Structure 1
Amino acid sequence: MQHPVSPPIGLTAANYADRIGFAQLTRRAFEGVDLHPLRDQLVARIAAGTALAGEGLDLSLITQLLGDKDRGLAIQSEVLAFHQLFRTPSAAPKSGLRLLALAADIDMGGNTPIDFLLEGSDVELLTLYVIKGVGLPETLPEHDVAIVVASDSEECREALALIEGAAPHWPRPLLNRPDRIGNLDRDKLYRLLMDVPGLDIPATIHATRAQLSDLAQARIACEDIAGELHFPMIARPRGSHAGVGLAKLDDAAALAAYLAERKEQDFFVARFVDYVSPDGLYRKYRLAMVDGKPYACHMAIADRWDIWYLNAYMAFSEEKRAEEAVFMRDFDHAFGERHRNAIEEMSRRVGLDYFIVDCAENANGELLVFEADNTAVVHNMDSPVVFPYKPPQMRKIFSAFTAMLLRHAKTGAESAA
């Protein structure tokens, strides 16, 4: 039953189902463990009618990790139709703080993979899926602090609206408030940050296939779509992630060829910023913003502009890894200090307790922001032999995240006393 938007919201003992969880299963896949035997075991339990709800949710994730997204989502929806609360136990012998994560029924990349951030802590994670037709329960499971982990995608709109309606009367501290997650939309983020001194963020503009077709055929000009738009431009299908459909278009002919290869009706376009370094390489950075403070997550170096960590092949270059290690080691008094004012103002305007920023430096030395996201993976799965500088940095981020939770939980307890 959906909870009415009125106080009070009660708390009750948690009726959860245990699960292996996102972090453990993803780590197994990342390390090359064959997940087929576990999948087959869970399928057999479901066929025999002996599977528990948490096992069904784990099967959904395993199926997605094995490449069958549609089937995995179908399993997830079937499970969530009769059970919405799940526990990922802490690694500690005795659990400490209890965190309630508010999630949406979406694919495995659509909610913050928060259990990675809790690695090594005594935090017990409860995940409550807020889904259409069910909404929030009349009484919430007992918890010390809550955080919204649903993304800013269209599929999460209803879940975010339900949480937002209840947010003013939430009985415990609520982090990453749902009304602020909408700030991360590609087209909204530009309007929020466009006048921050020392920060460069190209306008991300929604364009229909019809508009782009007219542009490709010279029936309209770039400025007819948006004043600052010009060739070369970046295009991507609206709602796409991880570089799917991303392309640099140098002229109208390239745009026509791009449209011929795509079936989507809606796109995001933006002016292309050539952020190449003097040595001819591109450097892209990922920052984690935790409680208003930036932390270095990774640095990708490649000879291509459309760079992310996997296609930079950092594991195969000792020279690149050495530069990334220096970036992490010196971050606070180098990159972080150079862009301190811009980062602080960005964090203030976005208003989230935790989010991720993918960025670079433009030719003028400004912070070039590509996107901000609350669901990007921040993990400690890379080989400590190949990347010995990463585990200490990841543990630093995880400690900051846990400290943030504890601070808010303490404040909430003091307020309730």
Structure 2
Amino acid sequence: MQHPVSAPIGVTVPNFADRIGFARLTHQAFDGVDLRPLRDRLVARIAEGTAQAGEGLDLSLIAQLLGDKEGGLAIQSEILAFHQLFRSPCAVTQPALRVLALAAAIDMGGNTPIEFLLEGSDIELMTLYVVEGVGLPDPLPDHDIAIVIASDSEECREALASIEQAAPRWPRPLLNRPDRIASLDRDKLHRLLAGIAGLDIPATVNAAHAQLSALAQGAIRCEDITGELRFPMIARPRGSHAGVGLAKLDDATALAAYLAGRQEQEFFVARFVDYASADGLYRKYRLAMVDGKPYACHMAIADRWDIWYLNAYMAFSDEKRAEEAAFMRDFDETFAARHRGALAEMSRRVGLDYFTIDCAENEDGELLIFEADNTAVVHNMDSPDVFPYKQPQMRKIFAAFTAMLTRQARAGEGSAT
């Protein structure tokens, strides 16, 4: 049952399903554990009719981790049709805080991986999937604080709208408000951040396949799409993630060749910024913004502009890891200090309690923003033997996140109903 527009929202003892959870299963996959035997056992339990809802959701994630995204999403859809509330493992039997995470029915990368942020804490996590045609339950499962973990993806729009409708009457503190999450979309963020001193963010605009074809043929100019667009440019299919379809296009000929190999009809395009350092290497940073304060998540160093942490091969370079360790150790006095004003104003405009930033520094030393997101993975899965400096840094981020939840929950205790 969905909430009437004007009715107050109540809370009740939650009817949840237990699951192995996102963090534990992803840890196992990352460590090279063969998940197929567990998958087969869960499939057998489903065939026997003895599987619980949480096991079905775990099976959905395992399928996705094994590369079967379509099959995993089909299982998830079947499970969420009859059950929407799930409890993740908690490190303690008597939690100090109960968090309700509001998720959308999307693939495993479409919601904030909040389990990593709470792993090992004394906080209990319940995840409520806001499903199309079902909406929010009335009354809500009881909790001390809620946080929206759905992304700005088009697939999450209905879930965000349902939460937004109920937000003014929410009985507990509600973090990462859905209207703020919507501003993270690539073609909105540059407008939101325009004019911040010391910050560079290229205008990212939506362009149709036909429009880009006309540009490749010389029928229109870059400026006809957006004023600052020029070659070389960056293009990616709208809605793509993890670098799928991302390309640097140096001229009209390259654009034509790119379009010939793509079936998508909508793309994001932006001017290319050469952010190579003086040594010719590219350095890309991920920051976590927790309650307005920046924290270093990682630093990737490579001889290519399209860096992800994995394709930077940090594990194979002592020199790169030493630089990343120094970046984390001295972050507050160096990187964060250089960009204090830009980061503070960006955090204020974005208005989220927690989000991540993928960024670099341009040739003028400005903070170059690639993306802001509320669903990027911030984890402690890297080997402590290879990356001994990482786990202390990740624990610092996790401690800041749990402290924020506790503080905001206590501040909102007076509003409990």
Secondary structure, in 3 states, of the residue corresponding to 2:363?
coil
Question: Could you tell me which amino acid in structure 2 is paired with residue 20 of structure 1?
Answer: I
How far apart, in 2, do the equivalents of 1:277 and 1:407 lie? Answer: 40
Question: Could you tell me which amino acid in structure 2 is paired with residue 198 of structure 1?
Answer: G
Question: Could you tell me which amino acid in structure 1 is paired with residue 267 of structure 2?
Answer: F
Q: CA RMSD in A?
A: 0.8
Question: Could you tell me which amino acid in structure 2 is paired with residue 153 of structure 1?
Answer: S
Residues 408/7 of structure 1: CA separation in 2 closer, same or farther (3 Å cut): farther
Secondary structure, in 3 states, of the residue corresponding to 1:296?
strand
How far apart, in 1, do the equivalents of 2:101 and 2:5 lie? Answer: 19
Question: Could you tell me which amino acid in structure 2 is paired with residue 180 of structure 1?
Answer: R
- Measure how far apart 1:3 and its partner are: 1.4
How far apart, in 2, do the equivalents of 1:239 and 1:224 lie? Answer: 23
- Measure how far apart 1:7 and its partner are: 3.2
- Which digits, 9 at most, give the CA deviation of each residue in 1:230-284, with x for residues without a partner? 0000000000010000000000000000001100000000000000000000000
- Which digits, 9 at most, give the CA deviation of each residue in 1:105-150, with x for residues without a partner? 0000000010000011011000000011100011000100000000
- Measure how far apart 1:211 and its partner are: 0.6
How far apart, in 2, do the equivalents of 1:214 and 1:195 lie? Answer: 31
Contact 2:10 2:171 (8 Å CA) reproduced: yes
Q: Equivalent residue for 1:320?
A: 320
Q: Equivalent residue for 2:220?
A: 220
Secondary structure, in 3 states, of the residue corresponding to 1:300?
strand
Contact 2:358 2:369 (8 Å CA) reproduced: yes
- Measure how far apart 1:4 and its partner are: 1.6
1:375 aligns with 2:371: no
Question: Could you tell me which amino acid in structure 1 is paired with residue 413 of structure 2?
Answer: A
Larger deviation: 1-10 or 256-265? 1-10
Contact 2:171 2:415 (8 Å CA) reproduced: no
How far apart, in 1, do the equivalents of 2:388 and 2:86 lie? Answer: 34
How far apart, in 1, do the equivalents of 2:6 and 2:329 lie? Answer: 49
- Which digits, 9 at most, give the CA deviation of each residue in 1:89-120, with x for residues without a partner? 31124222000000000000000010000011
- Which digits, 9 at most, give the CA deviation of each residue in 1:315-370, with x for residues without a partner? 00000000000000000010000000000000000000000000000000000000
Q: Equivalent residue for 2:403?
A: 403
1:3-402 map, 5 Å: 3-402=3-402
How far apart, in 2, do the equivalents of 1:11 and 1:390 lie? Answer: 39
- Measure how far apart 1:416 and its partner are: 4.1
How far apart, in 2, do the equivalents of 1:4 and 1:332 lie? Answer: 47
How far apart, in 2, do the equivalents of 1:94 and 1:9 lie? Answer: 26
How far apart, in 2, do the equivalents of 1:41 and 1:405 lie? Answer: 37
How far apart, in 2, do the equivalents of 1:128 and 1:3 lie? Answer: 15
How far apart, in 2, do the equivalents of 1:349 and 1:272 lie? Answer: 24
Secondary structure, in 3 states, of the residue corresponding to 1:120?
coil
Secondary structure, in 3 states, of the residue corresponding to 1:287?
strand
Contact 2:21 2:89 (8 Å CA) reproduced: no
How far apart, in 1, do the equivalents of 2:288 and 2:414 lie? Answer: 28
How far apart, in 1, do the equivalents of 2:194 and 2:317 lie? Answer: 36
- Measure how far apart 1:415 and its partner are: 4.0
Secondary structure, in 3 states, of the residue corresponding to 1:143?
coil
- Which digits, 9 at most, give the CA deviation of each residue in 1:357-386, with x for residues without a partner? 000000000000000000000000000000
Contact 2:85 2:127 (8 Å CA) reproduced: yes
How far apart, in 1, do the equivalents of 2:394 and 2:415 lie? Answer: 32
How far apart, in 1, do the equivalents of 2:113 and 2:13 lie? Answer: 24
- TM-score, reference length from structure 1: 0.99
- Measure how far apart 1:2 and its partner are: 1.4
Number of matched pairs: 417
Question: Could you tell me which amino acid in structure 2 is paired with residue 274 of structure 1?
Answer: D
Question: Could you tell me which amino acid in structure 2 is paired with residue 283 of structure 1?
Answer: R
How far apart, in 2, do the equivalents of 1:67 and 1:261 lie? Answer: 23
- Measure how far apart 1:160 and its partner are: 0.2
Secondary structure, in 3 states, of the residue corresponding to 2:412?
helix
How far apart, in 2, do the equivalents of 1:297 and 1:177 lie? Answer: 23
Provide the identity percentage.
79
Secondary structure, in 3 states, of the residue corresponding to 1:116?
helix
Point out 4+ residue stretches in structure 1 off by more than 6 angstroms. none
Structure 2 gaps of 5+ residues are: none
- TM-score, reference length from structure 2: 0.99
- Measure how far apart 1:5 and its partner are: 2.0
How far apart, in 2, do the equivalents of 1:140 and 1:207 lie? Answer: 41
- Which digits, 9 at most, give the CA deviation of each residue in 1:156-178, with x for residues without a partner? 00000000000000000000000
